[in-house]
Amino acid sequence: MVPRRSRNDQLRPGALDHTAAARSGLCGDRERRHSLPALRRGEPARCGWGAPHRAGRRAAGGLGGDRGDAADDAHDHGRRGDSECSGARPLQRRRQDRHRADPERRRALRRRRVYLVLCGLRSRGGSAHGRRGGPGAAPVEAPRHGARDERLQGDRDRRAALRTHPAGSALTLGTIRSNVFTLDEVLRATGGRVIHGVANAEERFVGGAYDSRIAEPGSLFFALRDRRDGHEFVADAFAHGARAAVVERSVTDLPDRAVLVQVADSQHALRQLADALRDAHPIPAVGITGNVGKTTTKEATAAALGVRYRVLRSEASFNNEIGVPLTFLGIEPSHEVAVIEIGFYVPGEIADLSRLVRPRVGVITRIPEVPVHYSRTPSVDAIAMGKAELIEALPPDGVALLNADDARVRALAPRTRARVVLFGESADATIRATEVSARGVEDLRFVAREGTRSVEVRLPVPGRHLVPSALAAIGAATALGVPMDEAAAGLSTMEPPAHRMNVRRTADFVVIDDSYNASPVAVVAALAVLGSVSTRRVAVIGDMLELGALSADAHEAAGHEAAKQTDVLIGVGELARTMVSAARAAGLRDTYQAADRAEALVILRRIVRHGDTVLVKGSHSLALNELADALVQPAAKA
């Protein structure tokens, strides 16, 4: 994958023998979609659904916010999705550095561009895998692309057979068109009718939006209804550049150019359009689920596949009944594989989303003893059964990648018809990590082994707990025809998800920004990273929400762990009081309690010293990402 740069420095199809779609021209800049503008602080949410844009919500307590009620957190706003799950990429403006303080990341992306071009050049003189000799065999028989043999599995179960490219990367530098679907396709898919504006069937759209603040120019706005009515913000969506809106009723005060498409149910229309676009582009897909680690695994998989294919991937943590269809509204003829994160709240949710995703490869990361969202489910076993819906949806010739180090995940193997591949550090793992090096805030390094093959792997984030994410990415990439060494090279260029084990350096101290979310197992993993540094260790840990009856014990256990791994502990939130008390009882003297992130920031600025390493972690609704930003930015390196 190549990040978007200027209009004159993008991508076009090469002359190599790749797919017909690639030969005919690329149609968009969705490969790494950084086109969503940042949410404005202080404005109300401008949509009718609380789900995928939860990454942009702010809670009360200072540092700005969209709402004033801290208890009214992101997952309480209409989500039947996954607000507290792992790793989201924040909404941001195009070409804007995420933290404005991390120049190393841009250099890594430039190296990635050079690597992709070299892959294409190298492959002209060698095999499909860049080596001399005949082309290597694909793990699964390549599809026949002729009209008489499409290898499709029914109208709603169409999945493209796994395939490899015959010669390196399909992409070279050039230009991309960004319009991906037409008004005619919208009307045919949804059965809607135009009730305002000129019905130009060839009008083209760049993608979908559900929040007027993130409606980019040329997008199609969906007026969804839940606690808020998206119809109230249709006019604002047009002001932000939306080209048309899908509505259930007429809306007033619109510009003359505005086009309204009326349907019976806006959310159902979104899914209908996504299904139609998926039907038109039956590319292989990788589905990723689990209770923790989904987003990091998704980003790692996209990076590993990106060395050979143009990848459509979920933005941020868009993993529910709104976010997954919106992802497919960005699919283009040039995309060759999709990497989709899938969340779970209720039984049947993953099964339903799998009918849209149509995965050929399924990954289940981890299902810990004390899982995220425990309060929303009857038991851990119920969560495991819900996650198993992904691998149950795989075809017989698909691949199920299961974490060998997680007993619950391993036990799901009989629930799939697909070939099972175990990954992890266990001795019986098919794809196994050895010689793991995870020191402090340095990049994670290890050797990945599969049979007689081995390759050194570097992941540009710290933490031994991320080994399974990298192994799963290698497994998915090799299943889709990417050689193991090239997949490992792709992993070294991965851009870590925002606020997920991001190491942010200032002139005076280092911040481990893992602030997007928190669960017991994730807190223990982050504390292990902090505990391995040689400097003074300061931990800012907020409430772990949605744990139900397990909450008190989980916070007490986190306090005991903090006493072992930190020199200073700042608890944020009411539930964190239990953690701070447990840490004091275990012998940690330097402890503080803050009511919210603003108070925690005041404490931090008073006590932080030159050379300290500071960990920031807490549940998403506490918005500790704002604390991390405020802590870093004033002292950030240029």
pLDDT digits (tens, 9 = 90+) for 516-569: 999 999 999 999 999 999 999 999 999 999 888 889 999 999 999 999 999 999
Residue with tokens 């792709």: 490
pLDDT, residue 372, reads 73
pLDDT, residue 636, reads 44
CA triple 87-515-378, angle to 5 deg: 60
- Domain shared by 460 and 573, yes or no: no
Task: Give residues with Cβ within 8 angstroms of 567, minimum separation 6.
Answer: 536, 537, 538, 590
CATH of the domain at 630: 3.90.190.20
The H or E element spanning position 289 is strand 285-289
Judge whether residue 135 has pLDDT over 80.
no
Residue with tokens 């992904």: 390
Structure tokens at 391: 């691998």
C-alpha 525/C-alpha 504 separation (Å) is: 18
pLDDT, residue 106, reads 38
Residue 147 falls within a domain, yes or no? no
Residue 87 falls within a domain, yes or no? no
Judge whether residue 381 has pLDDT over 70.
yes
Judge whether residue 497 has pLDDT over 60.
yes
Residue 251 falls within a domain, yes or no? yes
Give which of 485, 339, 396 is closest to 161, Cα–Cα: 396
Angle separating helix axes 576-585 and 551-565, nearest 10 degrees: 50
C-alpha torsion sign, points 27, 32, 37, 39: positive
Judge whether residue 143 has pLDDT over 60.
no
Q: Contact, 124 vs 167, CB < 8 A?
A: yes
Residue 44 falls within a domain, yes or no? no
pLDDT classification of 379: cutoffs 50, 70, 90: confident
Measure Cα distances from 490 to 89, 164, 262, 487 in Å. 19, 16, 44, 5
Residue 394 falls within a domain, yes or no? yes
Q: Return the minimum-mean-pLDDT range out of 129-143, 318-332, 446-460, 585-599.
A: 129-143
- Domain shared by 122 and 197, yes or no: no
Q: Return the minimum-mean-pLDDT range out of 213-217, 473-477, 603-607.
A: 213-217
Judge whether residue 331 has pLDDT over 70.
yes
C-alpha torsion sign, points 465, 393, 481, 425: positive
Structure tokens at 234: 């249709």
C-alpha 77/C-alpha 538 separation (Å) is: 33
Residue 76 falls within a domain, yes or no? no
C-alpha 525/C-alpha 156 separation (Å) is: 40
Q: What confidence tens digit (pLDDT) does each residue in 313-329 have? A: 998 889 999 999 999 99
pLDDT, residue 202, reads 94
Q: What confidence tens digit (pLDDT) does each residue in 45-74 have? A: 444 443 343 333 333 333 333 333 433 333
Domain carrying residue 416: 10-33+105-129+287-321+337-491
**Final residue belonging to a domain, choices 458, 491, 524:** 491
Judge whether residue 298 has pLDDT over 70.
yes
In 24-77, where do the E strands start and end? none
- Domain shared by 450 and 510, yes or no: no
The mean per-residue pLDDT over the stretch 582-595 comes to 97
Structure tokens at 315: 């933005």
- Domain shared by 455 and 364, yes or no: yes
Judge whether residue 588 has pLDDT over 80.
yes
- Domain shared by 447 and 384, yes or no: yes
- Domain shared by 484 and 507, yes or no: no
pLDDT, residue 539, reads 98
CATH of the domain at 408: 3.40.1190.10
- Domain shared by 533 and 420, yes or no: no
Structure tokens at 266: 């806006």
The mean per-residue pLDDT over the stretch 420-426 comes to 98
What amino acid is encoded at 279 in this protein?
D
C-alpha 617/C-alpha 571 separation (Å) is: 10
Q: Return the minimum-mean-pLDDT range out of 88-92, 289-293, 605-609.
A: 88-92
C-alpha 266/C-alpha 321 separation (Å) is: 13
Task: Give residues with Cβ within 8 angstroms of 634, minimum separation 6.
Answer: none
pLDDT classification of 178: cutoffs 50, 70, 90: low
**Final residue belonging to a domain, choices 447, 474, 491:** 491
The mean per-residue pLDDT over the stretch 415-444 comes to 97
Residue 264 falls within a domain, yes or no? yes
CATH of the domain at 226: 3.40.1390.10
- Domain shared by 571 and 614, yes or no: yes
According to the 3-state scheme, what is the secondary structure of 296-313?
A: HHHHHHHHHHCCCCCEEE
pLDDT, residue 376, reads 72
Complete DSSP assignment for 311-363: EEE--TT--STTHHHHHHTT--TT--EEEEE---SSTTHHHHHHHHH--SEEE
Number of domain units in the chain: 3
Q: Phi and psi at residue 288, in whole multiples of 5°?
A: -130, 125
- Domain shared by 302 and 431, yes or no: yes
Q: Contact, 321 vs 284, CB < 8 A?
A: no
pLDDT, residue 92, reads 37
Residue with tokens 């997952």: 75
Q: Phi and psi at residue 246, in whole multiples of 5°?
A: -95, 120
pLDDT, residue 22, reads 33
Judge whether residue 350 has pLDDT over 60.
yes
- Domain shared by 112 and 200, yes or no: no
- Domain shared by 113 and 214, yes or no: no
pLDDT, residue 345, reads 86
Q: What confidence tens digit (pLDDT) does each residue in 510-522 have? A: 999 999 999 999 9
Q: Look over the chain and give the mean of its residue pLDDT values, rounded to a whole number.
A: 79
**Final residue belonging to a domain, choices 464, 491, 518:** 491
Judge whether residue 468 has pLDDT over 70.
yes
Judge whether residue 109 has pLDDT over 60.
no
Residues in the chain: 638
- Domain shared by 223 and 315, yes or no: no
Its pTM stands at 0.74
pLDDT, residue 634, reads 62
The mean per-residue pLDDT over the stretch 144-169 comes to 35
Residue 40 falls within a domain, yes or no? no
